Every structure is written in C-alpha cells, then in structure tokens.
Chain A
Amino acid sequence: MPNKSAGLTSRALSVYSKDMRVELRSKYAFNAILMFGITSLAVVSFTLGQTGLSPRLLAALFWIIMFFAAMAGLAQAFIREEEAGTVLALKLSADPTAVYLGKLFFNFSLMALISAVITPVFFIFTDAPVDNILLFVLVLILGVIGLCAATTIVAAIISKASVKGALFAVLSFPILFVLLLLLVNASAKVLEGATPGGIGTELQGLIAYSGVMITASLMLFKFVWQE
C-alpha cells in the first residue's frame, strides 16, 4: 500500500530527479546555456585579445557571460512544464514548496555544470591570472547559488506570461544587479590577489543575498504556482 508519510525533502528530491531525468534525455537547457556561454565567451575573447585586460575587466566579462548563460537556460525548468502541459498534473500532486525546491536544485545543478565548463575555457581564452583558485571557485559557487536563488521564482513568473524569453531578462536584471556588483567586485579582487579576508564584505553580502532571495521565494512561490 502506498503510504503518504514522506517529508518535504524527499518530495523535493523527487521533483529534482524527475527534472534531471527529463533534461538528461533531451539536454535542451544544457545545450542552450552551453552554446550561449561559449559563444559569448568566444566573441569577447576574440575581439578583446589577451593583452591589456585588467582584472576588473576580466571579472566583469566573466560575470556578464554567466549572466547571459543563466538567462539562456534557467527558465527552462518551468517553461518546459508549461509547454508540455504537465503543470496541471504536477499542481495536483505536488506541494508548491517541494516544486520550488526541486526546481531550485535543478537550476543549481545546471549552472554548476555549465560553470565547470565555462570557467576553465574562460581562463584558457583570456589567460587570466589567478593565484588563489580556491577562492575564485568559492566566489563562483556563491555566485551560482545567488543567480539561481534570484531567478528561479522569476522563471516561474514568466513561464505563465507570454513573450517569455525577453521578459525573463527584463524581470531578472534589476534583481540581479546587486548580486552581479558583488560578484564582479569579489572576483576582481581575487584576480588581483586578494586573501579571503580581503573580500569579507562581499562574501557576507553574497551569503545574505542568497539567503534573503531564497526565503522570499519560499514565501511567495505558492502565489505564483497556484491560481
């Protein structure tokens, strides 16, 4: 007999694994993000060349590319459900919070995978100097978390509107602005050789930002998900 006692974590996990499974079979979102990321990276690298790129400029370029990549693929988690018409089935079976958390972790995984590809390629193309790789990766991880924290609920919002693509960027950018500012500053400092202490304010800001965005999303998501 099926029992109904499983908690939120396992429900969220089942949404997550379902999304991963569907994505693995089509690789649609992954390809879209990858193409966007690599293309913009290639254009930037080709036109600017390798010499004379200050750490600040490199940091800005890196996060602009990540931003574009995020815009290319992070809305898929919800748009796909709308286009396949599976929203109703999901709405009638799943707890909104489980849906949100599952999709959030799906987006994390997607962006993490993409970062793992784009970051090395970025460093190869631009020959950017980095002494403290771990610190850069820390900022990267916090950045990925922040990007997803802010955009997952926006993705849910635009999936229910028309003209989805452009709208996703229009709605996301004002909210992401502070995050991008923190990330570019932190990354620039790391490329200049800063220690963990040197980017303390930025790290605090990044953690606070992600925390606030996820908390707000958890409270607001059900209003987006349900009529």
Chain B
Amino acid sequence: MWWKVILFVGLAAVIVFSFITPAPQQVIGEASRIFYYHIPMAWIAVLAFAMAMVYSVRYLRSKKFIEDIRARSAAALGLLFSILATISGSIFAKISWGSFWNWDPRETSIFILLLIYGAYFALRGAVAVEEKRASLSAVYAVFAFVTVPFLVFVVPRMAPSLHPNDSVIDADLQFTMGASVRIIFFSSLALFTVMYLWIFNLTCRVGALYRKIIEEEDI
C-alpha cells in the first residue's frame, strides 16, 4: 500500500516540476517538456512488447492460460503506450520541426510497433477457439519480436534522407541534462514504469478472475 502512496506523490511531483522548472531544452523551448513523458511512454511500449514476447514463449511451452492472459495484458498496455508515444512524438515533431510526421527512424520504429500490436489484436479477434487464439497470437508475438533487431539496426541506416531530427534530442541529453532535468526525467521514467507494472498486474488479475468465474476452475 505504501508504495502506491509514493507512486502517487512521486508522479504528482514529477508532473508539477516538469512544468514549473525551466524547460529542458532552450532552443526548442516549452515544447521540450514533452520529453519527460514521451520517452518513458516509448520505453514502456517496448518493454511491454518484450514482456508479451516472453509470456508468449512461456505459454507455448506450458500451455497454461495464465501465460496467455499475461501476454495479452502486456500487449494491450503496450498498444496504449505506443499510441501515446506516437501522439506525443508527433506533437513534438510538429512544434519543433514543422511537420507531424517525417518517417525518421525513431518515428518509423514506433509506428511499426503500433502496427504489430494492432495486428496482434486483429488476429486475436479473428480466432474463436480459445486455445487456438492463444497459440496463434503467441506465435505471432514471438515472430514479430524477431524483427525488432532489424528495426533497431537496419532502419536507421536506410533512412532515405538524412534528417538531423534525432541529433537534436541526442545533443540534448548530452549537453543540457542539468541536475534538475536529470532528476525529473529519471523519476518520470522509473515512476511510469512502476505504474505500468501495477496496471499490468491488475489487468492480469482481472483476466484471471474473469476466466475463473467463467470456467469455474483454477488456472
């Protein structure tokens, strides 16, 4: 219970401080505050995908439904955070570089991740039989994850026009991460991760209970 209090107070503090302290990046100005939120969201979107993949593997090995519930829950949250990351990134792109979408490597990767999540749920929606649904989506989650190294290493080199987009942010992290910015940023990262894990846990428990009531059986 105590950690929930810390989470609440911590996140409230992060939100407040993210607005009242000086903007992290002077050149871009106020809009740069978005990086306190955008990066944690993108990070969680990727973390969720990795978790979905791991639980999918565990499901395929054990055929225990709880693993499918966990994989699905991770994916659902991953989808949510991908959407948030894409939107926040897009807003930032519009303000700082003038257009909502540029296909720069990071934007492209998060977009593909979004498509993978969407495909995962489209597949789940198209299979009526429970066990089949669990196996097929588990296989897809693992298979899609295998393409991630390519996304990370190949896409940046394939960018047709060398947009300096990211160099701005990278330069940011190097130059102007003063002490206060660092504290707020890493707190945001840590606290959002904790919040995600908490929501994940709740989602799994709801899923398990739901199944238990329907099946009248322990998983």
Partner-B contacts on A (CB < 8 A): 56, 153-154, 157-158, 160-163, 167, 170-171, 173-175, 177-178, 181-182, 185, 201, 205, 208-209, 212-213, 216-217, 220, 223-224, 227
Please measure, in the bound complex, the distance between the C-alpha atom of A174 and the C-alpha atom of B116, giving whole angstroms: 6
CA distance A162 to B123 in the complex (A): 9
Chain A hits for B139, CB < 8 A: 153, 157, 220, 223-224
Residue from B112, B128, B140 having most chain A Cβ neighbours under 10 A: B140
Enumerate the 4 nearest inter-chain pairs by beta-carbon distance, A residue then B residue, closest first. Answer: A161-B126, A174-B115, A178-B150, A174-B116
Nearest B residue to A226, CB-CB: B135
Q: Is B206 an interface residue (CB 8 A)?
A: no
Per a CB cutoff under 8 Å, which of B60, B115, B122 touches A167? B122
User: Given A162, A173, A181, A209, which contacts B158 in the complex, CB threshold below 8 Å?
Assistant: A181
What are 13 contact pairs spanning A and B, CB under 8 A? A153-B143, A161-B123, A161-B126, A167-B126, A170-B122, A173-B119, A175-B144, A178-B155, A181-B158, A182-B154, A205-B150, A217-B143, A223-B135
Using A170-B122, A171-B122, A178-B147 as known contacts, say yes or no to A162 and B132 having CB atoms under 8 A apart: no
Residues of B within 8 A of A181 (CB): 154-155, 158
- Given known pairs A167-B122, A170-B119, A173-B115, the reply for A161 and B127 (CB within 8 Å) is yes
Set of chain B residues within 8 Å of A224, measured between Cβ atoms: 135-136, 139
Main secondary structure of the interface of B (DSSP, over half): helix
Q: How many residues of B contact A (CB 8 A)?
A: 30
Give the residues from 34 to 74 in chain B that come closer than 8 angstroms, CB to CB, to chain A: 60
Q: Is the CB of A163 within 8 A of B126?
A: yes
Given the complex, which residues of A lie within 8 Å of B144, measured CB to CB? 174-175
Chain A positions within 8 Å of B142 at CB level: 216, 220
Q: Across the interface, which residues of A come within 8 angstroms of B155, CB to CB?
A: 178, 181
Q: A161-B127, A162-B127, A162-B128 in contact; A174/B138 too (CB < 8 A)? A: no
B146 CB–A CB distance under 8 Å: yes
Kindly report which residue of chain A lies nearest to residue B145, judged by CB atoms.
A216
**In the complex, are the beta carbons of B143 and A162 less than 8 A apart?**
no
- B119, B135, B150: the one contacting A171 at CB < 8 Å is B119
Interchain CB contact under 8 A, A201 and B157 = yes
Residue B83 interfacial (CB < 8 Å) = no
- Contacts A160-B132, A161-B136, A223-B135; is A178 near B143 (CB within 8 Å)? no
Distance A101 CA – B216 CA, assembled complex (angstroms): 42
CB distance from B80 to the nearest CB of A (A): 18
Given A181-B154, A181-B155, 4 additional A-B pairs, CB 8 A? A154-B140, A163-B126, A167-B122, A227-B132
With A170-B122, A182-B158 in contact, is A157–B140 under 8 Å at CB?
Answer: yes
